[in-house]
Structure 1
Amino acid sequence: MIPAGPAAEHASIAGTFSEKVRGVAPDGWDVATPVAEWTARDVVRHLVEWFPGFLAGGSDIKLPIGPSVDEDPVAAWEHHAAAVQAVLDDPAAADTTFAHPHLPAMPLPQAIAQFYTNDVFMHTWDLARATGQDDRLDAGRCQSMFEGMEPMDEMLRQSGQYGARVPVPDDADAQAKLIGLIGRDPEWRP
């Protein structure tokens, strides 16, 4: 079970992703993933590279630049995850408003949890599945994310951030439903 609250959630979810990052074999960074045209390295690159601009676009926060994903994906991820955790652990974060031009204003911790931590959670499956690691995700979080995202199915497709929904059996578990909803085949294998 993932602890509640944006800082604790991020610590847990980023910690699990860190385990998967450290579990990639040295020669495993260029393997294909369930995300078309992405390698394992690209999963890390995506998380490390999109979020700093998003964060800066809605706040005055600039994450420190870390190691290159091309040179050392493990160090790049760990540096990035620690920087995000430091933002969430800062007591001032609770009183900071995230005001991105494309979103309604919201508390900074909520924005990080909703847009970034959830992304880390979903991409944990991609990296684990691609690299032959345990890819089980927290069932309760899968269920709540599926229930929250499913009513927005059309908007998700229009965003360009998700592939076509992959049908799963009605009796599929919450993880398979979430993975299918975000455009991955839960049966995908390297």
Structure 2
Amino acid sequence: MKTISELLEGAAARAVPVVRGVDDDRLADSTPCSEYDVRALLNHLFLVIENFRALAVKGSTDFSRTDDVVTGDWRGRFDEAAALLVTAWAQPGAEEGTPGKMGIPARTVGLMVLGDLTVHAWDLARATGQVFEPDAAVVAELGPGLEAMAPQAREMKVFGEPFPVRPGATAFERVLAVTGRDPGWSPAGR
């Protein structure tokens, strides 16, 4: 079984090019996350990475912040933030204990950020007309992990209701569907 840091490294390698490929003129475009446009989703992803990096080292978090960090060299800062996330989860003890106030095992917390990084990279790719191919090892881990978390995630309004998938759907399409996403989503008018 791969470590969370190894999985995050694979996910980050797929997410970073997507973020780098977001043109500034697409920041107001809609995304598969109906509550976020591209800019808001990028801000959310930065916040997620920062907080889950803190959770890896058993630090404190603040998910309530709403700073707009999509300014200046935000693409370069995303590269750095993703690398720091991978490094934090590679530290001894990162996958042990129950970090933060969630009261859940550290590996499960790591799967949560792995899911966010991967699914939101897909969201951004779809919203901005890019191709996204997730890391196969990440998808293999996320499938059962997100399926197990789904009931609680729906109660917390983090996931939508499962989207019905077609027979023969890929493993990643099933991952997207369990989060409530339509794997065939595309921007209106494109």
- The normalised TM-score by structure 2 is 0.78
Measured after TM superposition, the shift of residue 167 of structure 1 is 0.8
SS of the counterpart of 1:77?
Answer: helix
Matched, 1:178 2:175: yes
Partner of 1:74: 75
**Contact 1:98 1:111 (C-alpha < 8 Å) held by counterparts:** no
What's 1:59 paired with? 58
4+ residue runs over 6 A deviation: none
Residues in 1 aligned to 2:39 and 2:60: alpha-carbon distance in whole angstroms: 26
Instruction: Specify every segment of 5 or more residues in structure 1 that has no aligned partner in the other structure, as ranges.
Output: none
Shift of 1:69: 2.2
* Shift in Å, 1:13: 1.0
Pairs within 5 Å for 1:36-47: 36-47=34-45
CA deviation map 1:38-80 (0-9, x unaligned): 1222222112113434554682378xxxx96231431331232
Query: Percent sequence identity over matched residues?
Result: 26
Decide whether aligned partners of structure 1 residues 100 and 37 sit closer, same or farther in structure 2, where only a CA change above 3 A counts: closer
The answer to whether the 8 Å contact 1:6/1:112 transfers is no
Does the CA-based 8 Å contact 2:26-2:38 persist in structure 1? yes
Q: Does 1:125 align with 2:122?
A: yes
Match of 1:26 in 2: 24
Match of 2:89, as an amino acid? L
Q: 1:10/1:56 Cα in 2 relative to 1: closer, same or farther (>3 Å)?
A: closer
Equivalent pair of 2:9/2:86 in contact (CA under 8 Å):
yes
CA distance in 1, matches of 2:36, 2:132: 17
**Map of 2:132 onto structure 1:** 135
Encode CA deviations 1:94-136: one digit per residue, 9 max, x unaligned. 5864432222354xxx355322122101111101111111123
Distance across 2 between alignment mates of 1:104 and 1:189: 35
SS class of match (1:185): coil
Task: Name the Cα RMSD after superposition.
Answer: 2.9
What TM-score, normalized to structure 1?
0.78
Distance 1:61 1:152 in 2: 22
Equivalenced residues, count = 180
Secondary structure of 2:35's aligned partner: coil
